[in-house]
Amino acid sequence: MDQRMAKHSPRARDVNHSNVLQREHRAVEEGTGSAVTRDFYCHRCSCKVTEYAHADGRAEELADVALYLCRTCAAEAQRKGTETVGEYRILQRLGRGGISVVYKAWHAPTCRLVALKKVVPESSSREGAEEVFQKEVKVMQTLIHPHIVRLIDYRMVEKPYYLVYEYLPNGDLYTYVQKHTVSVTDICRIFCQVLEGLEYMHRKGIVHRDVKPHNILLTLDKKAKLGDFSCVKNLHEDGILKGDHGGLPFLTPEEILNHDYVKSSTDVYAVGVSLYYILTDTFPFHFASPEEIIKAFLIKKKPKDPIDMVLQHKKELESELRRVIGNSILREDRILIQSYRKDIPATLAAIIDKSVAKNEENRFKSAQEMREALVLYLTDECASMKRS
């Protein structure tokens, strides 16, 4: 076994990354003394699972993030022919990205509910897929914060490669607001938490690069946690992975012009676009929809079989989509948020419009600056409500 493999062997992996996570956990929880043994309960039926929760010795370390499912409830949740990945049993598919798929899973020894991110079979042999996962692991081992999703486990020695994160039952912010009514004030509080997580990351020289509503996850009590670090960049390291940008509409004009442009302020811009999008269900600039782009493409090609043409020219269509959206980000004037939402208070509208400004010099320079502006707005809003 070579030195690299020995370092990442299952036994060494569990010990090493557990130690790192525990050290970071103690560092952020100031004033904690010796660990206190507590009871843990099933997330669904509330029966006690304490004995199982302590099986791997990490129950206290993960007490603030772990959810549990007793064996009876887990058996009911599992479908016939349930896939097993290591010690984890797949319960439900949650989503898919470029090289990975995310599942809700159950850790049999501890009864812990988790989100398991696995490299999809067609990507596991692709150049760079392993490197992306390795990079994510390396960064996530250093990030322990209340508003950043917690890495719990991983396997990078043998296929299938996977990462294991805490499970967030309320899902992503975009899907949540489609199903529930959330006040403007609560939305702003959520984004303050996202910015707080980014402040922590940026102080460490780490840029997320894929901030968007689908990557803002919600805990049981609706606290925000930033997730999906597959595009993450450590500014203290040299080099950059190809194709590790996030969603195109959330990129700054600077990133459109220069793919290698990386600054912490680009995350802040993405937060602004995300906040704008959550409040309006649209972007702060006009661009043709994917359907319109495909229609124009087909009119130009005049194919006999449109469906076959789309399938055969998928990459060309994706390139055209990037070109159209990119040009809109670069050329289109920003649409003031009150054009869509006249009920948005002027103070808040000014914060949002500043955060998505086309010119970098007119935007917030840091996550802290934008968060402080939102906190001041929320403070004044609260005081105003009390007076009335």
Residues with catalytic roles: 210
What residue type is 376 in one-letter code? L
103 in helix, strand or coil? strand
Element (H, E) at 162: strand 162-166
C-alpha distances out from residue 43 to 70, 71, 72, 259, 382, Å: 8, 11, 12, 43, 34
C-alpha distances out from residue 79 to 74, 230, 324, Å: 10, 29, 43
- Cβ-contact 21, 65 below 8 angstroms: no
Residue entry with tokens 């469906």: 307
Query: For strand 206-207 and strand 84-85, is the pairing parallel, antiparallel, or unpaired?
Result: unpaired
Q: What does the buried/exposed string (b/e) look like for 31-60 if buried means 16 or more CB atoms within 10 Å of the residue's CB?
A: eeeeeeeeebebbbeeeebeebbbebebbb
Element (H, E) at 89: strand 88-96
